[in-house]
Structure 1
Amino acid sequence: MNKLRNYSLAILVAFIALTFNACKKDPKPEVPEEEIGKAELTFLEVEREEHGDHYHYNPIAEAKPTSITFDSKGLPPVGTHLHLIEGKTYKLTLKSFDFANREMQQEFLEKHDIHQAFILGAPEGVLTYVYADRDKENKKINVGVTGYLTVDEQTEKGFTFRYVLRHLNPGVKAGITAANWNDVNFASKFAGANDLDLKFELHPVHDGEHEVH
């Protein structure tokens, strides 16, 4: 009887030891590199000056920025509605934050080979967007942390403006150009996942109707 008890005890001890060692060897779960919390889009009017086949964008001293904040689901405060003025150009800037409230947009610039923003929702011919990002060597890159949005036409009613920051699979960005800024088929054409998908109501209007609420 004692031998049987000792044998059972030995098996139990061995089982506990094996379980403990297996637990120690279990890999730690991967922490996503980009855990994005809230975000913010800021619109600041600038002067667009034509220079041959491109434009220069100059600051306007009296211009005041308008910012829209978004929660972790990409939603703004209820009822947010922005008016932008026909014929004007705005510097559009992204800020994003992780769940510890640390800014993250610099990481998108540093990893510009796998990130690109798409500006969606506007009827054809209403908006024009130009990427204006620079890398650490001051070379032009297309990400969408900074860009210029021109309102070409007013619309009778508003629409859902959508800012999507795409986290691209390796090698995909080589097939994307600046002209794809409003490609509605981006998800099927450019494999990856969305780091950000921000939406709000935008209404391009005639001068004198500007407001955000």
Structure 2
Amino acid sequence: MKTRNIRFFFLLSTILLGFLSSCKNDNDEIPALAKPQIGTLEIGSGNNKTVQAGSDLHLEGDILAEALIAKIEIEVHQEGGGQYKFTKAYTDGKYIGVKNATFHEHIDVPGDAPAGAYHFHFIVTDKAGNATTAESALTITAADVKPSFKLIFTEVAGTPHGNHFHDLADKSNAEPMTINFNEKGQALSGGHAHLHPAKIYKIEFKQYNTSAQEIQNQYILNKSTADYYKAFLVGGSFILNPNTTGENGAIFQTRETKYADGTTISDATETTGIITYFTAGNVNAGEKQVLFVLRKLKDSSTKATITRTDWNLSNYETKFAGQDLVKLSFELHAEED
């Protein structure tokens, strides 16, 4: 009996020592609170480390953070004594609070960025406060074409309800996203809008003359002028919000409040679409090819017949006689952060 107990104690000790040794080896391989690791970072198309002002910078690379990712920051600043710089930060969304992430984004480069040599910083900070930076040279080339049109997307607060929104309000620190277009309506930058499907965005339409002056207010000078113009967002086969049971469909609400002469727009059918509010809705998640259209109607009485659910009609051209003056083509990526 005594011998059996000794043998049992010896076996138990051997198993325990083996377990502790195994744990020690595992911990040796993964140091506690190790700094974030940034894999090879692809900067620019084909990793060419070059981007044109007014376009977007492709970035892609893997991140490993044992203490979980807390923040990702991007800073680009001029070399050679120049003062120009721009930044971007990610503090929430799909990259935050995870251990492993493949970072893939297209960062808007301002159109007024001077051409020349820049220095690029990619900084990952974990929840323990450790930070790792990847750096690279970057060349920004001049924007050789001035945009004729822009669509500016900015997240706002609000609540979808049927075919429109309630309680729309600007959000502090919301960062606009811009797509620039040439005179033919072709995107000069990446041509894609990455929007969270459940969030609401204010869309501002801008048009420029050859002197780079804004001229979009020509369409809403006063009521008699604006009665001939209406914006549509066509393509994408959206499921509209009124056709859902959970308020999770698409809404495109034209919503100026004043004409350019300062008089108040008094009815929903009078709005044109120089300013609109949009949500794709969760039921429309995914990638869609769409057109922002500004149409000149054949007569001034037609506009009052265009309802808030007519914005995505495939037969809008035949239903509402007139001519498309502006057609801006872009990809809409309705994806969660």
TM-score calculated relative to the size of structure 2: 0.47
Contact 1:154 1:203 in 2 (8 A): no
Secondary structure (helix, strand or coil) at the match of 2:227 reads: helix
Q: Report which of the two has the higher share of helix.
A: 1
Q: Which residue of 1 aligns with 2:149?
A: 39
The correspondence of residues 91-130 of structure 1 with structure 2, limited to 5 A, is 91-110=202-221, 111-125=225-239, 126-130=249-253
Gaps of at least 5 residues in structure 2 are 1-146, 240-248
Give the deviation of 1:170 after TM superposition.
1.8
Contact 1:40 1:68 in 2 (8 A): yes
The range that moved more, 81-90 or 153-162, is: 153-162
Q: Which residue of 1 aligns with 2:272?
A: 143
Q: Which has the higher contact order (CA 8 A, sep 6+)?
A: 1
> Relative to 1, partners in 2 of residues 1:156 and 1:91: Cα closer, same or farther, differing over 3 Å?
closer
Structure (1 or 2) with the larger CA radius of gyration: 2
Gaps of at least 5 residues in structure 1 are 1-36, 209-213
Contact 1:142 1:178 in 2 (8 A): no
Identity, in percent, stands at: 29
Pairwise CA RMSD: 2.3
Question: Distance between the aligned counterparts of 1:54 and 1:65, measured in 2?
Answer: 20
Question: Distance between the aligned counterparts of 1:50 and 1:116, measured in 2?
Answer: 22
Q: Match for 1:40: what amino acid? A: K
The range that moved more, 178-187 or 162-171, is: 178-187
How many residues in Structure 1 have an aligned counterpart in Structure 2? 171
Q: Which residue of 1 aligns with 2:313?
A: 183
> Relative to 1, partners in 2 of residues 1:50 and 1:201: Cα closer, same or farther, differing over 3 Å?
closer
Q: Which residue of 1 aligns with 2:332?
A: 202
Give the deviation of 1:100 after TM superposition.
3.8
Give the deviation of 1:82 after TM superposition.
2.0
> Relative to 1, partners in 2 of residues 1:156 and 1:129: Cα closer, same or farther, differing over 3 Å?
closer
Q: Which residue of 1 aligns with 2:254?
A: 131
Contact 1:91 1:148 in 2 (8 A): yes
TM-score calculated relative to the size of structure 1: 0.72
Secondary structure (helix, strand or coil) at the match of 2:312 reads: coil
Contact 1:155 1:203 in 2 (8 A): no
Contact 2:179 2:192 in 1 (8 A): no
Q: Which residue of 1 aligns with 2:294?
A: 165
The range that moved more, 44-53 or 171-180, is: 44-53
